[in-house]
Structure 1
Amino acid sequence: MSRRSDRLSEDDRVLWNLVARTAKPLKGKIAVDIAAGARPPPSQSVQAAASPAGAAKPKTQHVSHALDEPTLDKLSKGRLPIEGRVDLHGLTQDEAYSLLFSFLHRAHAGGIRYVLVITGKGSSSGGDGVLRRAVPAWLSTPAFRPLVSSHDHAARNHGGSGALYVRLRRVR
């Protein structure tokens, strides 16, 4: 008989925190505060995305490279397979960050190379969506750097400006 390990992996912990934060306590019960886990809070990276264009960026922040034109062309025409996709519609920033991080971590571990991240285009009132602005900034942060090689806006048939192609780094 094998012993079950009572420890959660980092992916399981992120997923559990995502689910636990959305759960409502039963009537008459007190809500338990859930620890955020070992990931950086998304508010730090969102500030970088929301900063004005003329503002100076810190030297430690590295921006991922955009996909090269031949690869972008192959992805948009379907000649290069998109092996995974994640839809972040309707999620809060914390939920989206946790889901995106765990999804990319599992995809990278599985040897997947190209994925589609659907952020949505934002509100219909003319403003940019929060996730549409924040996700590219998240992908350029140190937490995602070991996973993400590059990213770019998707072709119109894959969601256009409301989606991103993400190339994951090769597993070493």
Structure 2
Amino acid sequence: MTRRKLGPDEIALWQKVADRTERLNLQETFDPAAYAPAPKPKSKPTVDLGKLVTTYPPKPVARKPGYDLKPTLPDQLQKSPVQMDQKTFGKMTRGKLKPEGRIDLHGMTLDRAHAALIKFVLRAHGSGKRLVLVITGKGKNRDEGGPIPVRFGVLRHQVPQWLSSPPLASSVLQVSEAHVSHGGGGAYYVYLRRKR
């Protein structure tokens, strides 16, 4: 690679910069004593002749690394506040309420599933339904061990976010993981607001 030559205006600009700068005195700026390693303390065991106990400096306590992992999706849904009637919520999570409608998003791409979910939830809300079941499936493990991790069950993680954002947020009152009899971790109960 060959370097290009500077033009006269570039040389003049560089000369202005060089004239305004002051040379650093490394002896004044850099203090080698400030960067020298601290001397190690010489700790000798002390012997208490009265008790004949040898004491050493305390060993540093090994701490476990504190990981702040994001809670799993079921944990997030369980910790979310209950917006609906507590008694009805209990029946719903135990699988005692029968869903009035259901949509199965198995095998759909994200964009197709999002459009289908919006259409289904808005239509169910418009017809006065209160409880619908959204089946996402548990997902397949598609992580090939690459540098970027791939989520396990993309639709399963995306659907609660879609339900909590516009235009569905105004129709949805509560989202909860379905009971085992209705699909368990691969489905969600969506409790809709009353039609006004």
Task: State the TM-score bracket (shorter-chain normalisation).
Answer: 0.5 to 0.7
Structure number, greater radius of gyration: 2
Deviation at 1:75, TM superposition (A): 2.5
Deviation at 1:107, TM superposition (A): 0.3
Decide whether aligned partners of structure 1 residues 154 and 67 sit closer, same or farther in structure 2, where only a CA change above 3 A counts: farther
Decide whether aligned partners of structure 1 residues 84 and 78 sit closer, same or farther in structure 2, where only a CA change above 3 A counts: same
- Indicate the structure whose relative CO is greater, using CA pairs within 8 Å and at least 6 residues apart: 1
Distance 1:109 1:141 in 2: 18
Q: Which residue of 2 aligns with 1:112?
A: 129
User: Is 1:162 aligned to 2:186, yes or no?
Assistant: yes
What does 1:46-125 align with in structure 2 at a 5 Å threshold? 53=70, 70-124=87-141
Please tell me whether the aligned partners of residues 138 and 153 of structure 2 are also in contact (alpha carbons under 8 angstroms): yes
Decide whether aligned partners of structure 1 residues 69 and 128 sit closer, same or farther in structure 2, where only a CA change above 3 A counts: farther
Distance 1:89 1:110 in 2: 24
Spell out, residue by residue over 1:76-104, the C-alpha distance to the aligned partner (whole angstroms, 9 max, x if none): 55542210000000000001001000000
Identity between Structure 1 and Structure 2 (%) = 47
Code of the residue aligned with 2:108 in structure 1: it is L
Distance 1:73 1:153 in 2: 12
Structure 1 gaps, min length 5? 1-51, 55-62
Please tell me whether the aligned partners of residues 95 and 178 of structure 2 are also in contact (alpha carbons under 8 angstroms): no
Helix, strand or coil: the match of 1:112?
Answer: coil
What does 1:7-22 align with in structure 2 at a 5 Å threshold? none
RMSD, matched Cα:
2.6
What does 1:22-37 align with in structure 2 at a 5 Å threshold? none
Please tell me whether the aligned partners of residues 67 and 152 of structure 1 are also in contact (alpha carbons under 8 angstroms): no
Distance 2:117 2:126 in 1: 14
Structure 1 runs, 4 residues or longer, greater than 4 Å off = 63-69, 124-127
Distance 2:180 2:168 in 1: 25
Decide whether aligned partners of structure 1 residues 119 and 66 sit closer, same or farther in structure 2, where only a CA change above 3 A counts: farther
Helix, strand or coil: the match of 2:124?
Answer: helix
Deviation at 1:66, TM superposition (A): 6.5
Decide whether aligned partners of structure 1 residues 66 and 164 sit closer, same or farther in structure 2, where only a CA change above 3 A counts: farther
Code of the residue aligned with 1:132 in structure 2: it is R
Structure 2 gaps, min length 5? 1-68, 72-79, 144-150
Code of the residue aligned with 1:170 in structure 2: it is R
Code of the residue aligned with 1:153 in structure 2: it is E
Deviation at 1:53, TM superposition (A): 3.8
Distance 2:181 2:134 in 1: 14
Q: Which residue of 1 aligns with 2:167?
A: 143
Deviation at 1:145, TM superposition (A): 1.2
Code of the residue aligned with 1:71 in structure 2: it is T
Count of residues in Structure 1 that have an aligned counterpart in Structure 2? 113
Q: Which residue of 2 aligns with 1:129?
A: 153
Question: What is the TM-score of this pair, normalised by structure 1?
Answer: 0.58
Distance 2:112 2:190 in 1: 19
